[in-house]
């Protein structure tokens, strides 16, 4: 963790104040060239009594896309039930610093999605200098509904029951494939993944938990940036708004606050949080608490829902402050990590985590210089390799996948039989 370099600018809060003012003073003054009224989400219209529906989302995105020069909405895929997977880009012009929000990969965890939708709207209509300056130097990419079929059915998985957040290595789902293509093509510096969790009172019940990539293949400086994002920005911003925070997966003693056991949050490479690190972005998982713990929230579901969304919004303030203040350090870390793979050296980890040292059997100490795939093998995985951005040389009817490339550690994770989730067993080339 590094010390904070300055105060947290309240970018979203400022933007929201601007939007609220616009909403409050619409028709009475009705000038000839009226500022378009910012659209509201279904969640906002009902004061949190229900979540924003898919038709409401589509209408809001179309309105924002049309009304704001700084926003563009594009289609990045289609689900099995024929719903669009969409990417919203917000920014004044192309910029180096790119932040990617992935909202509600789990369809029954809706608060992140509603926080993302109102954030898109707020940033699209904001007129204050601070937000404009932020958007002139940062490109914000948002996948507002990462699992539309799961959201429609209120299920964790997609319509096939597949947990999308365990598919970021295999890429068997349309949803994970769409996200992989965005990460390959836009090379985000940070990837922020919004979820919700069920509490175990006293031991595991903070308003928000977050977690960085624990996978040991994450570049050290990128790992440090992700921890800084959590500890120096996201948590303080949430705390400032009155929300409690902690580390995802770690139960703590109710009296001392000391960690007592870990129930989730390992280094498994097929989770987006970890694949973010492997692909050289400062990843952060954020989880708001579903359960109402106060009597007032127990009696009033809308109040409970509003706390879930507001806590997510407060944490997003911290993310934007981080992107604003640490752009230089972050870009230096992600650029260096992307170049490092071309030096082709050092071990690759197929197990372990930053808080769980790898066993000797979980370390490929002296990796081969590449993996050969025969024609049938290559045919079976070539689309997935391409979606991962893995560089391949054609080799007769098959292919050769060199280790010397940007996402170097990804190569054995996809092709080495020692990696738990490898796609196919390539033949290691040790004749370097």
| Cβ 114 vs Cβ 194: under 8 Å | no
Q: Quick count: other Cβ atoms within 10 Å of Cβ 417?
A: 11
Phi, psi torsion values for 171, nearest 5 degrees: 55, 55
Q: Take residue 258 and report the two structure tokens written for it.
A: 């000391």
Residues 141-180 that bind Zn ion (CB under 5 A): none
Nearer to Zn ion, 113 or 310 (CB): 113
**Sign of the CA dihedral with 335 first, then 340, 346, and 350 last:** positive
| Cβ 269 vs Cβ 275: under 8 Å | yes
> Per-residue x/- marks for Zn ion, 345-384, CB under 5 A?
----------------------------------------
Give the nearest distance from C-beta 37 to Zn ion in angstroms: 34
Residues 221-240 that bind Zn ion (CB under 5 A): none
Nearer to Zn ion, 109 or 325 (CB): 109
Nearer to Zn ion, 59 or 166 (CB): 166
**How does DSSP classify residue 233?**
I
Task: Report the interhelical angle of 301-325 vs 111-125 (nearest 10°).
Answer: 50
Give the nearest distance from C-beta 100 to Zn ion in angstroms: 17
Among candidate residues 324, 6, 313, the one with its CA nearest the CA of residue 134: 324
Give the nearest distance from C-beta 195 to Zn ion in angstroms: 3
What string of DSSP letters covers 245-309? Answer: EEETTEEE-TTT--EEEE-S----TTSHHHHHHHTT-EEEEEEEE-S--SHHHHH-HHHHHHHHH
Nearer to Zn ion, 166 or 404 (CB): 166
| Cβ 125 vs Cβ 68: under 8 Å | yes
**How does DSSP classify residue 52?**
P
Give the nearest distance from C-beta 256 to Zn ion in angstroms: 28
Among candidate residues 360, 341, 318, the one with its CA nearest the CA of residue 412: 341
Residues 173-212 that bind Zn ion (CB under 5 A): 195
Nearer to Zn ion, 92 or 108 (CB): 108
Residue 36, sorted as left (phi over 0), alpha (psi -120 to 50) or beta, turns out to be beta
Give the nearest distance from C-beta 121 to Zn ion in angstroms: 24
Nearer to Zn ion, 137 or 166 (CB): 166
Residues 75-114 that bind Zn ion (CB under 5 A): 106, 109
| Cβ 92 vs Cβ 134: under 8 Å | no
Give the nearest distance from C-beta 135 to Zn ion in angstroms: 28
Nearer to Zn ion, 96 or 156 (CB): 156
Q: What number of chain residues touch Zn ion (CB under 5 A)?
A: 3
Output the residue with the shortest Cβ distance to Zn ion: 195
Q: How far apart are CA 182 and CA 52, in angstroms?
A: 24
| Cβ 313 vs Cβ 123: under 8 Å | no
Give the nearest distance from C-beta 158 to Zn ion in angstroms: 13
Give the nearest distance from C-beta 157 to Zn ion in angstroms: 11
Nearer to Zn ion, 271 or 392 (CB): 271
Residues that bind Zn ion (CB under 5 A): 106, 109, 195
């Amino acid at each position: 963790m590094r010390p904070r370099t300055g105060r947290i600018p309240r970018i979203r809060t400022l933007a929201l104040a601007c939007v609220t003012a616009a909403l409050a003073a619409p028709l009475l003054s009705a000038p000839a060239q009226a500022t378009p009224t910012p659209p509201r989400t279904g969640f906002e219209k009902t004061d949190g009594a229900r979540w924003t529906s898919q038709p409401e989302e589509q209408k809001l995105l179309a309105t924002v896309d049309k009304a704001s020069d700084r926003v563009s909405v594009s289609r990045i895929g289609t689900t099995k039930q024929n719903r669009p997977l969409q990417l919203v880009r917000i920014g004044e012009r192309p910029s180096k610093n790119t932040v990617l929000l992935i909202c509600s990969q789990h369809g029954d965890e809706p608060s992140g999605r509603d926080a993302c939708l109102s954030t898109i709207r707020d940033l699209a209509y904001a007129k204050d200098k601070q937000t404009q300056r932020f958007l002139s130097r940062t490109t914000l990419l948002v996948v507002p509904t990462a699992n539309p079929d799961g959201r429609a059915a209120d299920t964790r998985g997609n319509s096939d029951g597949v947990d999308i957040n365990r598919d970021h290595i295999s890429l068997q789902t349309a949803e994970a494939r769409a996200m992989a293509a965005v990460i390959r093509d836009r090379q985000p510096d940070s990837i922020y993944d919004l979820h919700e969790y069920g509490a175990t009172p006293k031991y595991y019940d903070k308003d928000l938990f977050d977690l960085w990539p624990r996978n040991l293949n994450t570049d050290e400086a990128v790992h440090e940036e992700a921890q800084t994002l959590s500890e120096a920005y996201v948590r303080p911003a949430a705390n400032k708004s009155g929300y409690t925070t902690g580390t995802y997966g770690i139960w703590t003693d109710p009296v001392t606050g000391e960690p007592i056991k870990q129930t989730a949050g390992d280094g498994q490479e097929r989770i987006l949080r970890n694949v973010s690190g492997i692909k050289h972005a400062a990843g952060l998982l954020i989880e708001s608490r579903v359960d109402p713990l106060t009597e007032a929230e127990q009696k009033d579901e809308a109040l409970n829902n509003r706390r879930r969304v507001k806590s997510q919004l407060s944490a997003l303030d911290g993310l934007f402050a981080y992107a604003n203040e640490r752009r230089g350090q972050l870009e230096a870390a992600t650029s260096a990590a992307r170049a490092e793979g071309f030096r082709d050296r050092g071990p690759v980890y197929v197990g372990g985590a930053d808080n769980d040292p790898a066993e000797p059997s979980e370390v490929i100490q002296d990796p081969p210089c590449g993996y050969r795939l025969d024609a049938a093998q290559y045919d079976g995985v070539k689309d997935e390799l391409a979606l991962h951005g893995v560089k391949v040389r054609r080799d007769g009817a098959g292919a050769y996948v060199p280790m010397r490339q940007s996402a170097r550690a990804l190569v054995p994770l996809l092709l080495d039989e020692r990696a738990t989730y490898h796609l196919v067993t390539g033949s290691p080339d040790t004749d370097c």
